[in-house]
A and B are shown apart, each in its own frame.
Chain A
Amino acid sequence: MATAEVSNKKTLKVQRFKPSDNPTNTYLTDEKGVWAWMTTVDHKKIGIMYLVSVAFFFAVGGALALLLRTELLTPAKTFIEADTYNQLFTLHGAIMVFFVLVPSIPAALGNFIMPMQLGAKDVAFPRLNLASFYIYVIGAIFTFIALAQHGLDTGWTFYTPYSTQSSSSVIWVTMGVFILGFSSILTGTNFITTIHKMRAPGITWGKLPLNVWALYATSIIQVLATPVLAITVLLLTMERWLGFGIFDPALGGDPVLFQHFFWFYSHPAVYIMIVPGFGIISEVISTFSKKTVFGYWAIALSSLAIAFIGFLVWGHHMFTSGQSAVATTVFSFLTFLVGIPTGIKIFNWIATLYRGSIKMDTPMIYVFIFLFLFSIGGFTGIMLGALSVDIHLHDTYYVVAHFHYVMMGGTLIALLAGLHFWWPKMTGKLYNEPLAKIASGFIFVGFNVTFLPQFVMGAQGMPRRYYNYVDQFTPFHQTSTIGSYILGVGFLIILYYLMHSLFKGAKSPANPWGSRGLEWQATSPPDFHNFDHTPVVIHGPYDYHQPMEEFQLGLAVDTNGHDPESAKEIVDEKRDEWKNYSLG
C-alpha cells in the first residue's frame, strides 16, 4: 500500500494494488453446484452460460453446414433428398443468425466483460439478465419442437407467400423467434442502463473502452429494431393461423411488404452481429501492440454512425423485388454511406499498429485474419450495393460468399479473438499457444478455400439455395466442400485445446497480456464482485505509455470506496492531475 499526495487542498489516500496471481476466492469458487449456476444473477456466470449455449448451437449449425456441403459434392442427389436439403439450409441459417451470431458477442463475452470494464459489480438489472437467458432457452425449445414436428423449409428469411403455404412447422419457429427477440431487447436495455449508470467513478464517456462503445451502439439497435421483427413474425403467424390477409396476394396482401418489414429488422441485425466484433478488435489490437488506439473518437462515433445509418439501408436486399425505383435509388445511395464508417475503422486499426510493439499471440492472429477477411467482405458489399451489378449478383453464391466473409470472417473471427483474449480472464487458465496458432491456420485456409470459389461461381450465375446445379459449377462446389472440412478440423482443434486448458491447463497470471484494460486489473478469474472495492479510474483504457506499476490505481478512501458521492469528489479533484498525465 502506498499513499500519494495531490496538489489540491485535500490529501488523498490512493491504494495501489496489484491483483493477486493466485486468488483464493473467485466467482467460480463462490456459489458452486448446478442449482447455484441456474439461479445465479452474477453477470459472469450468465455470460458463461450464454457462451456454452452459443457454442452448442454453433456446433449444431456447423454440423448442418458440413452436411449441406457434402450434399453439394455432386449435382443432383449425393445422399439426401431435396426436401431434407431445404430444411437443412433453413435451419443452418436460422440457428446461426438467431441463436449464434446475434447473442454471441454481446450476451456471452459482453455480459462477462462489459461490467468489469466499467468497474461495476454487475449489470444494472441482474435478475433481468438471468431472465433474458431463460427467454433465450424458451425460444430455443420452441425451435426444437418445430424440428420434432415438421421442421422448417422456408429459408431463414420466411418470405411470404411461400411461408404461408409451406406444410412445415412455421408457426413454432416464428413464435420461437418472437420469444427470442425479447431476450435480445432485454439484454440491450440492460446494457444501455448499465453503461449510463454503473460506470465506476472516473470513467467518463471519453474513457470508455471501445468495446463498451461498440456494445452501446449494438444495444441501441437491439432495442429499436427487434420489436419490428416481433411484429413481423406476429403478422406472419396471424396470416398463417387465422387467415388475416397481410402479405398473401390471394388474401389481398402484398408479399413485398413482408420483405420491407423483415429487412427493417434483419439489416440492422447485421450490425447487431458485427459491431460488437469491432469492439473486440479495438481491445485486442491495442493490447498486443501496446499502443493507444489511433482515432479513439473516430472508432467510437463510427459505431454510432453505423447504428444510425444501418436503419436506413434495408431496401438494398430488395433491388430485384419490385420495390419502387425511387426507393431502390435512395437505398443504394445510403448503402455506400454506411460503408464509409466501416472503412474508417479498418484504417484506424491499421494505424494503431504503426510504431507499436506488436506481439503475434493467438488473439492478435485472429485480429489480422479479421482485418483481411472483413475487408474482402466490405469490398464485395460495395459491389453488391452498386445497382446494375447487384441485379446480376443478387441471390447468387456471390451473396452467400459475401455475407459469410462478413458474418463468419468478421463476427465469428472477432469472437474467436475475444474468446482467446479473455479465456484466461474467464477461466484462470492458459491454453496451448502453438496448437492455437495451428488451429488459426486451419481456419484461415479452410475459410478461404470454402468461400473464395463461391464468389466466382456466384458471378458466373450459380443461384443460392440450390439442391441441384448445372455441371459447369461442379469444380467450385467440390473445392468449397473440401474447404469446409478443413474449417471443421480447425474448430475441432480449438475445442480440444480449450477443453484441455479448462481441465488441465496451466494457471494464468492475473494479467497475462499486460493489458491496461480495467477488466485485467482484477484477478483471473475475477472475484465474485469483480473488484475488492469500487475502483476509481484515473487513466484511460489504452494508456500504454504509462508504466504498469503506476497504472494499477484502485482508490480507497475512508469509506473504502463504497460511497459513490465521496468517490466522485475525489475524482473531480484528481482530474487536474489526470490531465497532466495525458498531456505530458
Chain B
Amino acid sequence: MGRLFDFMLPEAKSPTAESTDALFHFINEVSLVLLIGITFALIYFAIKYRRKSEDDETPVITHNNTLEITWSVVPLLVCFVVFGWGYSGWLNLKSVPDNAYEIQVSAYKWGWNAKYINGAQTLNEIHVPEGRPVKIVLQSSDVLHSFFVPDYRVKHDVVPGRYTYVWFEANEVGESQVFCTEYCGTGHSDMLAKIIVHTEDDFETWLEKNGGGVSGTPVEQGKQLVQLQGCVTCHSEDGSKKIGPSFKGLWERQENLTDGSTITVDENYIRESILNPGAKIVQGYDNVMSPYEGRITDDEITNIIEYLKTLK
C-alpha cells in the first residue's frame, strides 16, 4: 500500500517536500481505513438485513448519543491533527532561509524569464546551485500565472502588480519540470520551464559565462532580446505559422489588417505593435498579445528592429 502512495507523488527533490509527503501519506492511510470500513458496513448491512418479506418489521432507533458524539469528536480530533501538521509544513514553505540565493523570475504569456544577480538572463530555464536554498521572486507582466514545481512541492500564483515568492533546496543535480498552473489563455499548457540543477562549482562557472546579460552589436542584441523577451514563443524566425505572424520577411512586408486596410511594416509599426499590440491586428490572427509598455526600453526596441531587418 505504501508503494501505491509513493507512486502517486513524484520523487521528492527538496527538503520542502518532506512534511508535505508525510502528511499526504497519513491522510491517504486514514482515509483508506475509513473508506474500507464504510464500504464494508454498506455491503454487510445490505446482505444481512436484506428484505425478506414486504411485512418485515424494523425497530425504531431514533438516535444514540454515545455513538453520535464518538463519531463527531474523533474525526474532529483527527482533523485538528491534520490542520496542525499542514500548518507547520506550510510555515516552512513560507520561511525562506537567510542564505537563500535569489533569482528574479518574470512570467508572461507564455513563458518564464529568469534574471540572475550578475545580469545573466535565461528563458524557460532556471539554473540553480545544488544544496543551497534558492528563493524565486515572482512577478507577472500580464495576467495571473502560477509557478509550480512538482518535484519540490512548491507552488505560488504569479500576480500582476505584486511580488510573490517560493523557495526550495535542490538536493541532486539534474532537471525538474516547471508548470504554469493558473489558466492564462492559448499557450497555457505550453508555458513550461525546466529547473537545471548544477553542482555549486558548475553553477558559478555557468553564471560567469553568461553574466552581463545582452551584449554585442545592435543586431546581436536584438537577436538575444527576441529570445529573452519571449517574442519567439509566438513569432517564428523561420516563417512557420505560430500564434502571431512570423518574423521572417516581416520587414517592409505588406500586411492586411483586420479593419480592411493594408500597411507596410516599418519602424513605427513594429514599435506600436510591441507597446500597444491591439492597435493594428493582422488578418488571420487574434488580439492576444500583452502590451510591452513598461517592460522594454526604447534602445531595446531599436535593437529588435535592427535584428528583424536582417530576417529576410
A residues bordering B, Cβ < 8 Å?
A: 82-83, 86, 153-155, 159, 161-162, 165-167, 249-250, 254-256, 289-292, 294-298, 320-322, 325, 328-329, 332-333, 336-337, 339-340, 343-344, 346-348, 350-351, 353-360, 368, 371-372, 375-376, 379-380, 382-383, 385-392, 394-396, 455-456, 459-461, 463-470, 514, 544-545
Contacts and interface: CB of A to CB of B under 8 A. Distances in A.
Given A359-B50, A375-B35, 16 more contacts: A155-B183, A161-B160, A167-B288, A292-B61, A294-B62, A343-B72, A344-B72, A350-B41, A350-B42, A357-B51, A357-B56, A357-B58, A389-B27, A392-B150, A394-B155, A470-B177
18 contacts: A82-B189, A86-B188, A249-B160, A255-B160, A291-B61, A297-B63, A320-B146, A320-B155, A320-B156, A320-B157, A354-B49, A382-B27, A388-B153, A394-B155, A395-B146, A459-B9, A463-B181, A466-B189
Contacts of B82: 336, 382, 385-386
Contacts of A386: 23, 27, 82-83, 85-86
A469 B177 CA distance: 12
Interface string B20-46: 100110011001001100110110011
B204 interface: no
Contact of A468 (B23, B71, B190): B190
Contacts of A161: 142-144, 160
B175 to A, nearest CB: 12
B60 interface: yes
Contacts of B57: 357, 545
Given A292-B60, A340-B76, A375 B34 contact: yes
Contact of B150 (A382, A389, A390, A460): A460
A467 to B, nearest CB: 5
A514 B54 contact: yes
Contacts of A320: 146, 155-157
Contacts of B93: 388, 391
B180 interface: yes
A463 B302 CA distance: 38
A255 B52 contact: no
Interface in B131-146: 142-144, 146
B227 interface: no
A344 B71 contact: yes
A182 B88 CA distance: 43
Contact of A321 (B54, B80, B159): B159
Contacts of A391: 20, 90, 93, 153-156
B213 interface: no
A476 to B, nearest CB: 11
Nearest to B53: A357
A347 B71 contact: yes
A464 B184 CA distance: 12
Contacts of B186: 82-83, 86
B49 A396 contact: no
A396 B148 CA distance: 10
Contacts of A463: 148, 179-181, 189
A292 B187 contact: no
Given A161-B160, A383-B27, A388-B23, A82 B38 contact: no
Contacts of A390: 86
A468 B110 CA distance: 13
B146 to A, nearest CB: 6
B42 A382 contact: no
B183 A394 contact: no
A360 B63 contact: no
B185 interface: yes
B10 interface: yes
Among B46, B92, B179, B189, residue most surrounded by chain A Cβ atoms (within 10 Å):
B189
B20 A388 contact: yes
A544 B10 CA distance: 53
Interface of B: 7-10, 19-20, 23-24, 27-28, 31, 34-35, 38-39, 41-42, 45-46, 49-52, 54, 56-64, 67-68, 71-72, 75-76, 79-80, 82-83, 85-90, 92-94, 142-144, 146, 148, 150, 153-157, 159-162, 164, 177, 179-190, 192, 286-288, 290
B189 A358 contact: no
B185 A350 contact: no
Contact of B7 (A256, A376, A382, A456): A456
Contacts of B23: 386, 388-389
Contacts of B87: 329, 332, 387-388
Nearest to A360: B46
B185 A162 contact: yes
B60 A389 contact: no
Contacts of A154: 183
A404 B48 CA distance: 32
B38 A346 contact: yes
A286 to B, nearest CB: 10
Among B19, B156, B164, residue most surrounded by chain A Cβ atoms (within 10 Å):
B156
A532 to B, nearest CB: 26
A350 B20 CA distance: 33
A428 B278 CA distance: 60
A544 B57 CA distance: 8
Nearest to A291: B58
A379 B155 contact: no
Contacts of A346: 38
Contact of B42 (A165, A297, A371): A371
Contact of A395 (B9, B45, B148): B148
A294 B188 CA distance: 49
B39 to A, nearest CB: 6
Nearest to B79: A336
Nearest to B20: A388
For the complex of A and B, 9 pairs with smallest distance between CB atoms: A461-B150, A388-B89, A249-B161, A386-B86, A357-B56, A379-B31, A387-B90, A466-B189, A336-B79
B51 A82 contact: no
A388 B76 contact: no
Contact of B144 (A159, A344, A392, A455): A159
A389 B86 contact: yes
Contact of B39 (A249, A329, A372): A372
Contacts of A371: 38, 42
Contact of A340 (B64, B79, B179): B79
A328 to B, nearest CB: 8
A460 B180 CA distance: 15
A347 B66 CA distance: 13
A170 to B, nearest CB: 13
Nearest to A361: B51
A289 B72 contact: no
A41 to B, nearest CB: 39
B187 A356 contact: no
Contacts of A459: 8-9, 24
A256 B182 CA distance: 13
Contacts of A351: 61, 64, 67
Given A82-B187, A296-B62, A392-B153, A290 B56 contact: yes
B20 A389 contact: yes
